[in-house]
Amino acid sequence: MAASKTWYVYLIECSDGCLYTGITVDPVARFKAHLEGRGARYMRLHPPLRLLATEAHPDRSAASKAEYRIKQLSPAEKRAYAAQMAAVAAAVP
């Protein structure tokens, strides 16, 4: 049986101030793709400004569920959640 990949939920702040939430196995490569205009159509219409935060999940299913939950939040709640995710990531050695 193949080893399962770690999946990540990521939040990107777009140049117009909106927030984009997605999932991937490689957040850095996915952000680079968004910068190059590849991938999600939404990101071509709302160019990415910066990667706000990432959150690791054990599998795609867990990441998809977290993505759905985050997408239900208000913009202010998403920003607060992104700040919390970034703080947790910064605290990990």
Which is more confidently placed, 84 or 3? 84
pTM for this one? 0.88
| Residue 70, domain member (yes or no) | yes
Q: How many separate domains does the chain show?
A: 1
Label residue 87 by pLDDT band (50, 70, 90): confident
- Full residue range of the structural domain in which residue 30 is found: 7-91
Residue 22 sits in a domain whose CATH number is 3.40.1440.10
Question: Which two tokens mark 31?
Answer: 């952000």
pLDDT per position as a tens digit, 21-75: 999 999 999 999 999 988 788 888 889 999 999 999 999 999 999 999 999 999 9
Residue 76 has pLDDT above 70, yes or no: yes
Torsion, CA 3, CA 5, CA 63, CA 48, rounded to 10: -170
CA distance 30 to 48: 11
| Residue 21, domain member (yes or no) | yes
Residue 3 has pLDDT above 80, yes or no: no
User: Tokens 């219409």 map to which residue?
Assistant: 45
| Residue 34, domain member (yes or no) | yes
